[in-house]
């Protein structure tokens, strides 16, 4: 029977659930003008949730509901990162949402529900919980993608996302049932104990394959990446910011829970699978990004490539590699919010600024935003001294450390190819003249400007001072 | 030794100084120019202060600073200089002043961004020469590409976009493999400290892989044949200031990389494959010399001549191994390496001056084609004096700095193998041919074109820049002893290290 202590351990999520319900109700009653208050209230909710996460973790690692829910440093990092990213998304997205008359309240509550899914997922201690968290996240995401009802592109993206997402959830569930069949338990810790003892090794590996497919789908790793460019392009940009950032944190949490916590004994089986996924993602992401003309699609393919790098860290299978994967996911989430944030800042009602050519001559129109975008692009490309470089450095190191020098070399080669399409964006902003008929104007929304500036400059500052953040990631795996 | 963090001041001053330059904004170009000039002068002053406090009798690192940067990787913010880096630092701070003065009226568009980019570029190059931690070195080494990318791309010529992207990707291609090498070394040694890496024992196969990883990075930067093709493009399209910095300082970073990484970390592999580098250097000297001969674009001609001259640098650095085999006392080997260093500094001045000269002509006629000029001496006598002088220096005439380094390297090569020296000495003929022919076609003769007849002689600002370069070239040519003395202890120490096998 769940007791009061269990609820207390679950307090951040419990609080968030309650708060979402209140916000949902509130949204039905507030007038157009009171919307701003709801917006800030939502941010307050996020702040309180973050505080609850921190204060909970201060009381130490714990589990609740018979091990279904875990409170540990890994969950803390990922939750805080996801909350921070969500807050950034709200601040960045508000003018966009208001300009386009997209359902304001629904955007906020659905995003919060997705965040709740992320939080439950990264805290999962059993297969059921993994699945629940994941479904909460993805179901909310489907709705978010379709939020712009009148746009056919948006609806198409949502349908694609839903069909493929449902398929992958099915595969994941199938894999879980195999694992359950082989070990007789859903609890991840218990699965780890059972793996060496079970006689059904073949069944286990069979199930593992499906788990990996499910994970790869959620990451958007090639060859399970088909949905990603369409969804990124079709979603309202305000939603793309979210989908491009927070779910990656959830995915890394899911992969670590399933593979590192549940099935570390099968390292020799899943390591090559992840390595293959990494190589394919790097290749497909980097090569296809080159030919894109849509900025959102280009960033989508760049995401695929970045997930390849993340897999480099994951596939090492070491504590260091895991810490690196978490670090990479956080770095990537920050870069994604900055990159999509620029699109949000430049678009206004009737104009999306989502083509690469839309940025033409940005340096003349708005040198500050051009500078921020340049920082973001160089960071994504992995040029020092920016944050993205150190994330890449660490994944390469993790791969070499795990004896996969060849994988690191592949990563290095695709870093060069990837460089090209990021440079192209900088080229368009700095070297091209603006089109006379297209007037680029940066948004005058102050919170957006500030958050975007802080976000992009953080890539520069963290590029110099990333030590503490990485130490934190390392501590989650108790290697510091 | 002073307790002041002099090197940190040196590296960070231009970066901090770039902020007010940027803030001056597009509407106050005058302010941007003056602040940039003051910052570069202050940086030069700091570098002179460093020279003053530097003890040239010691080969050890001086003015060292070390703070933990990333504890988890045991990476340090570690700075320090020896004689070799001091010489290159002075070259950098000196050149930057001239570049900023040289761009005074030439750059009219987004002055503040140009000046800020130059200052940031200077800081990063200084960081490269000061870094004692391999990770820090790499960060500076790569970050340098960003301002240069912007400088070529924004203020460059018609094909600037192609040139600058080629430049960036080419250089990145080389260095990313070095990064893998550095990570490998780190995992082996547990530190990024360059001195520790230099003392690390490595087997020959390991050294070979690392050597080629480093070679790729630095060969692109130098650049050596066959990875030199980015340079002519970058030079042709870059604005004058960009070309000057590129030729005068950035190429030197490749040579410096060989000295700091390739030679001491993988001495046995370097010794093993010295023949390869020597062969490529000789190809650069002779073949690229011929390529320079047929160029019709002045900037391209000087760019190719840069590659040929840098061939001497790599020749001097790698001839050391042949010399150590025949005479382990290292006197001759030291001469070769000294020659390479003197050649680097000299080439910095000479090529910087040549590109400035071309810039002066380009500002007036907006063409770089040799055939569009002719008879400049009739309309621009003062300019002709400088152009002829730098042409002589480029051809390696005794009395100019160009002669000293080449002579030392040829002398050392002769001791190793007279045949190598013979091929290398070809440069005296080819170099004279392409340079003097250029001078003949551009400066001498009658004025045949009306546009040329309307050209005005250099103004005071241009005279200052060219005069400063000329003074440096002449001083180094007549009396190279202070420079040689400055680097002697460090070079000797390095040569002694190379004589010992690490296997």
Mean pLDDT of A61-78: 89
> Taking Cα atoms as reference points, which of A371, A336, A337 lies closest to residue A442?
A371
Q: Do B70 and A470 touch (CB under 8 A)?
A: yes
Min distance B212 CA to chain A CA atoms (Å): 14
Contacts of A471 in chain B (CB under 8 A): 71-72
Angle between helices A446-464 and A319-346 (to 10 degrees): 150
Residues of B with CB under 8 A from a CB of A: 26, 69-72, 110, 113, 135, 138-140, 142-143, 145-146, 149-150, 153-154, 160-161, 164-165, 168-169, 172-173, 176-177, 179-180, 183-184, 186-187
Mean pLDDT for B454-466 is 90
Span A17-69, pLDDT tens digits: 999 999 988 888 887 778 888 888 999 999 999 999 999 888 888 888 888 89
From chain B, the residues in CB contact with A430 under 8 A are 150, 153-154
B469 Cα to chain A: minimum distance (Å) = 31
Q: How far apart are CA B332 and CA B346, in angstroms?
A: 21
Whether A480 has a pLDDT exceeding 50, the answer reads: no
**Cα of B365 to nearest chain A Cα, Å:** 24
Rounded-to-10 torsion of CA A339, A340, A345, A351: 130
Question: d(Cα A253, Cα A115) in Å, to the nearest integer?
Answer: 13
8 Å CB contact of B172 and A400: no
What's the rounded mean pLDDT across residues A101-113?
Answer: 87
A333 closest CA partner among A267, A252, A278, A422: A252
Separation between Cα atoms, residue B453 and residue B375, nearest integer Å: 9
Taking the model in full, what pTM does it have?
0.92
- Residues B255-273, buried b or exposed e (16+ Cβ, 10 A)? bbbbbbbbbbbbbbbbbeb
Residue A385 and residue B143: Cβ atoms within 8 Å? yes
Cis bond before residue A385 (omega within 30° of 0): yes
Testing the interface with A: which of B127, B160, B169, B183 to mutate, by most A Cβ within 10 A?
A: B183
φ, ψ for residue B76, nearest 5 deg: -120, 150
d(CA B137, CA A394): 17
Interchain CB distance below 8 Å, B160 and A419: no
Bond prior to A406 in cis (omega within 30° of 0): no
Rg, Å, chain B Cα set: 22
Q: Which two tokens mark B419?
A: 């045949």
User: How many contacts (CB atoms, under 8 Å) link A and B?
Assistant: 86
Segment A236-255 mean pLDDT: 92
Question: Which pLDDT does position B333 carry in this prediction?
Answer: 86
What is the least distance, in Å, from the CA of A63 to any CA of chain B?
29
A480 interaction partners in chain B (CB closer than 8 Å)? 72
C-alpha–C-alpha distance, residues B303 and B247, integer Å = 8
Intra-chain end-to-end CA distance of chain B, in Å: 36
Helix (H) or strand (E) holding B75: strand B75-81
Q: Is A416 in contact with B139 (Cβ distance < 8 A)?
A: no
Average pLDDT estimate for B317-345: 87
Q: What is the pLDDT of residue A169?
A: 93
Q: What is the mean pLDDT of chain B?
A: 90
* Cα gap B15→B123, rounded to integer Å: 6
Q: How far off is chain A from B112, nearest CA to CA, in Å?
A: 12
Residue with tokens 């939750």: A79
Q: Give, in order, the Cα–Cα distances in Å from A468 to each of A55, B66, B72, B76, B320.
A: 20, 18, 9, 14, 44
Q: Are B184 and A412 within 8 A, CB to CB?
A: no
User: Could you give the angle at which helices B381-395 and B331-365 cross, rounded to 10 degrees?
Assistant: 150
CB A48 within 8 A of CB A108: no
Contact B206, B181 (CB under 8 A): no
Q: State ipTM.
A: 0.89
Contact A431 B154 (CB under 8 A): yes
User: Which candidate from A412, A416, A466 shows the least CB-CB separation from B180?
Assistant: A412
Best A318, A393, A413 member to test B by mutation, with max B CBs in 10 Å, is: A393
Positive or negative: CA dihedral B61, B65, B71, B75: negative
Q: How many CB atoms lie within 10 A of CB B100?
A: 25
Q: In this predicted model, what pLDDT tens digit does every residue of B59-85 receive, in sequence order?
A: 888 898 999 988 888 899 999 999 999
The residue among A135, A305, A294 whose CA lies nearest residue A220 is A305
DSSP classification of residue B372: G
Between CA A140 and CA B491 the distance in angstroms is 66
Q: B165–A420: do the CB atoms touch at under 8 Å?
A: yes
Q: What pLDDT sits at residue B428?
A: 82
Cα-Cα-Cα-Cα dihedral of A396, A401, A402, A408, to 10°? 30
Condensed to tens digits (0 to 9), the pLDDT of residues A283-315 reads: 999 999 999 999 999 999 999 999 999 999 999
pLDDT value at A397 more than 70: yes
Q: How many residues belong to chain B?
A: 503
Contacting B with CB below 8 Å, chain A residues are 363, 367, 378, 383-385, 389, 393, 396-397, 400-401, 405, 408-409, 412, 415-416, 419-420, 423-424, 426-427, 430-431, 466-467, 470-471, 474, 480
Find the mean pLDDT for residues B150-161. 89
Q: Do A401 and B180 touch (CB under 8 A)?
A: no
Across the interface, of B70, B173, B180, the residue whose CB is closest to A416 is B173
Within 10 A of B105 (CB to CB), how many other CB atoms are there? 13
Confidence class of residue A439 from pLDDT cuts 50, 70 and 90? low
Query: Looking at residue A434, what DSSP letter applies?
Result: P
Mean pLDDT estimate for chain A? 89
pLDDT in tens, B366-403: 888 988 888 888 889 999 999 999 999 998 888 888 89
**H/E stretch holding B70:** strand B62-70
Structure tokens that stand for B96 in this block? 């930057």
Question: How far is it, in rounded angstroms, from Cα A24 to Cα A293?
Answer: 39
Chain A residues with beta carbon closer than 8 angstroms to that of B184 = 400, 405
B169: chain A residues, CB-CB within 8 Å: 416, 419-420, 423
Q: Cβ contact (<8 Å) for B143 and A467?
A: no
Handedness of CA B306, B311, B316, B320 (dihedral sign): positive
Rounded to a whole number of angstroms, the distance from the CA of B149 to the nearest CA of chain A is: 9
């Amino acid at each position: 029977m769940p007791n009061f202590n269990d609820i207390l351990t679950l307090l951040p999520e419990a609080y968030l659930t309650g708060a979402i319900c209140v916000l949902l109700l509130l949204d039905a009653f507030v007038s157009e003008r009171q919307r701003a208050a709801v917006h800030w209230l939502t941010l307050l909710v996020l702040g309180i949730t973050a505080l609850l996460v921190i204060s909970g973790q201060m009381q130490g690692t714990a589990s609740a509901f018979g091990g279904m829910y875990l409170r540990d440093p890994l969950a803390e990092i990922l939750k805080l990162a996801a909350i921070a990213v969500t807050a950034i998304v709200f601040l960045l997205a508000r003018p966009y949402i208001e300009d386009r008359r997209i359902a304001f309240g629904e955007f906020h509550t659905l995003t919060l529900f997705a965040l709740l899914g992320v939080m439950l997922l990264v805290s999962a201690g059993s297969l059921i919980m993994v699945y629940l968290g994941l479904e909460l996240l993805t179901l909310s995401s489907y709705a978010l993608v379709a939020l712009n009802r009148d746009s056919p592109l948006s609806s198409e993206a949502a349908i694609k996302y839903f069909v493929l997402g449902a398929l992958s959830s099915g595969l994941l569930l199938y894999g879980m049932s195999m694992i359950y069949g082989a070990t007789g338990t859903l609890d991840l810790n218990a699965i780890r104990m059972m793996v060496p003892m079970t006689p059904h090794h073949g069944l286990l590996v069979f199930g593992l394959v499906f788990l990996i497919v499910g994970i790869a789908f959620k990451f958007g790793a090639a060859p399970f990446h088909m949905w990603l460019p369409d969804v990124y392009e079709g979603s309202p940009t305000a939603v793309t910011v979210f989908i491009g950032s927070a779910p990656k944190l959830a995915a890394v949490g899911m992969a670590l829970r399933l593979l590192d916590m549940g099935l570390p004994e099968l390292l020799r089986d899943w390591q090559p699978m992840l390595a293959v996924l990494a190589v394919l993602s790097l290749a497909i992401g980097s090569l296809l990004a080159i030919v894109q003309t849509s900025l959102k699609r280009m960033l989508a393919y760049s995401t695929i490539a970045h997930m390849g790098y993340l897999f480099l860290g994951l596939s090492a299978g070491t504590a260091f590699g895991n810490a690196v994967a978490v670090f990479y996911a956080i770095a990537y989430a920050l870069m994604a919010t900055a990159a999509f944030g620029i699109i949000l800042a430049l678009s206004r009602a009737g104009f999306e600024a989502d083509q690469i050519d839309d940025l033409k001559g940005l340096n003349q129109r708005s040198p500050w935003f051009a500078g921020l975008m340049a920082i973001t692009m160089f960071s994504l490309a992995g040029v020092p001294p920016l944050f993205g470089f150190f994330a890449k450095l660490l994944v390469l190191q993790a791969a070499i450390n795990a004896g996969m020098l060849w994988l690191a070399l592949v990563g290095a080669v695709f870093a060069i190819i990837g460089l090209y399409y990021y440079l192209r964006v900088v080229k368009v902003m700095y070297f091209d003249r603006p089109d006379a008929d297209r007037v680029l104007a940066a948004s005058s929304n102050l919170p957006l400007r500030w958050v975007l500036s802080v976000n992009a400059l953080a890539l520069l500052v963290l590029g110099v001072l990333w030590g503490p953040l990485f130490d934190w990631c390392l501590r989650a795996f108790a290697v510091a | 030794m002073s307790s002041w963090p002099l090197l940190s001041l040196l590296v960070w001053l231009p970066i901090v100084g770039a902020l007010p330059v940027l803030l001056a904004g597009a509407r106050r170009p005058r302010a941007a120019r003056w602040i940039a000039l003051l910052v570069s002068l202050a940086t030069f002053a700091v570098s002179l202060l460093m020279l003053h406090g530097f003890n040239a009798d010691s080969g050890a690192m001086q003015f060292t600073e070390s703070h933990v940067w990333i504890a988890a990787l045991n990476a340090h913010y570690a700075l320090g200089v020896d004689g070799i880096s001091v010489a290159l630092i002075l070259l950098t701070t000196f050149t930057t002043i001239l570049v900023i003065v040289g761009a005074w009226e030439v750059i009219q568009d987004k002055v503040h961004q140009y000046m800020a980019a130059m200052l940031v570029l200077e800081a990063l190059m200084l960081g490269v020469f000061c870094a004692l931690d391999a990770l820090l070195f790499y960060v500076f080494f790569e970050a340098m590409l960003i301002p240069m990318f912007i400088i070529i791309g924004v203020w460059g010529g018609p094909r600037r976009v192609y040139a600058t992207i080629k430049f960036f990707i080419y250089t990145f291609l080389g260095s990313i493999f070095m990064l893998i090498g550095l990570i490998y070394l780190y995992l082996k040694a547990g530190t990024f400290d360059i001195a520790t890496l230099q003392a690390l024992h490595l087997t020959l196969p390991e050294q070979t892989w690392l050597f080629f990883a480093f070679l790729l990075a630095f060969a692109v930067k130098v650049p050596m044949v066959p990875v030199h093709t980015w340079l002519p493009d970058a030079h042709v399209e870059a604005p004058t200031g960009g070309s000057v910095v590129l030729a005068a300082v950035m190429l030197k970073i490749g040579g410096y990389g060989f000295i700091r990484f390739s030679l001491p970390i993988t001495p046995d592999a370097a010794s093993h494959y010295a023949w390869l580098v020597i062969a490529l250097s000789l190809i650069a000297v002779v073949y690229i010399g011929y390529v320079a001969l047929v160029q019709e674009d002045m900037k391209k001609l000087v760019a190719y001549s840069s590659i040929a001259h840098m061939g001497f640098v790599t020749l001097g650095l790698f001839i050391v191994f042949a010399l150590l085999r025949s005479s382990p006392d290292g006197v001759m080997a030291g001469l070769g390496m000294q020659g390479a260093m003197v050649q680097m500094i000299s080439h910095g001045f000479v090529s910087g001056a040549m590109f400035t000269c071309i810039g002066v002509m380009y500002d007036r006629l907006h063409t770089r084609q040799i055939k569009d000029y002719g008879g400049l001496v009739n309309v621009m006598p003062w300019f002709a004096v400088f152009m002829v002088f730098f042409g002589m220096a480029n051809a390696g005439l005794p009395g100019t700095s160009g002669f000293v380094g080449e002579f030392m390297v040829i002398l050392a090569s002769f001791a190793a193998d007279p045949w190598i020296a013979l091929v290398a000495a070809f440069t005296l003929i080819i170099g004279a041919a392409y340079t003097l022919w250029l001078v003949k076609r551009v400066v001498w003769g009658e004025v045949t074109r009306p546009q040329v007849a309307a050209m005005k002689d250099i103004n005071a600002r241009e005279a200052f820049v060219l005069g400063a370069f000329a003074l440096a070239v002449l001083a180094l040519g007549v009396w190279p002893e202070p420079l040689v003395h400055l680097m002697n202890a460090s070079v000797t120490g390095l040569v002694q290290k190379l004589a010992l096998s690490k296997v």
